[in-house]
Amino acid sequence: MDSFEYLITLVSVIAGLGIARALSGIARLFDTRRNISFSWIPICWTFNVLLWLIAFWWFTFLLSPFEGWSPGLHIFVLFYAGAIFFVLALLHPESLEEGHDMLGHFLDNRKMFYSALLIVALIDIADTSIKIQIGLPAPPLMQYSALILPWIIMSTLALFIRNRKFHALFALVFLASIVFWLSNNIAGILTIVAGDA
């Protein structure tokens, strides 16, 4: 195994744990739906972050031809994967008490959630910069800006705003921006992955 294969194995484990955490959390919510106060906003955020985790895992394959791996770069990529997992974990507590208020829990924990989401956005900027420095093509600036700027601005505002409508709007804007980004960029990564197979 080369350095990338070791790295992608660990990234895949973290991604798998994140996917399992998200799916088991959603299953638990639906299983206990009669005993809790249900809200679609945390479910939408779970879907959003899950999409981003899967996209991160896929786009990590862009690094497969790179040979200049250092311990710092390994740690950075693993930290990025771990940060996304942490955001997912914040959405789903380990246990749900009778009468659990999903939206209330989400809003009470919004500062930690949106701080973590903001950190993931900043890590992604660093990740994109690293990929450009090692010779990968830069993403189209307008498309990347349409993804990352609303993410940073609205995450910052969400730290201070408790209004339900704002958080609902942000969840939908984030979903739209991820779908837009992936629909414009996934063909390239699929070509790279197919070429490595």
DSSP 8-state class, residue 68: -
Query: CA-CA distance, 88 to 18, in Å (whole number)?
Result: 7
User: Could you tell me where the DSSP H helices lie in 134-163?
Assistant: 141-158
Tally the domains of the chain.
Answer: 1
- Is the separation of the CB atoms in 7 and 75 below 8 Å? no
pTM: 0.87
Residue 36, sorted as left (phi over 0), alpha (psi -120 to 50) or beta, turns out to be: beta
- The 3-state DSSP class for residue 101 equals strand
- Give pLDDT < 50 ranges for the chain: 197
- Is the separation of the CB atoms in 58 and 191 below 8 Å? no
pLDDT at 27: 85
Enclosing domain of residue 18: 3-196
| pLDDT tens digits for range 36-69 | 787 899 999 999 999 999 989 988 887 887 888 8
The token pair that represents 2 in the structure block: 């080369």
The token pair that represents 24 in the structure block: 């088991």
- Is the separation of the CB atoms in 34 and 86 below 8 Å? no
The token pair that represents 108 in the structure block: 């009470």
pLDDT at 197: 46
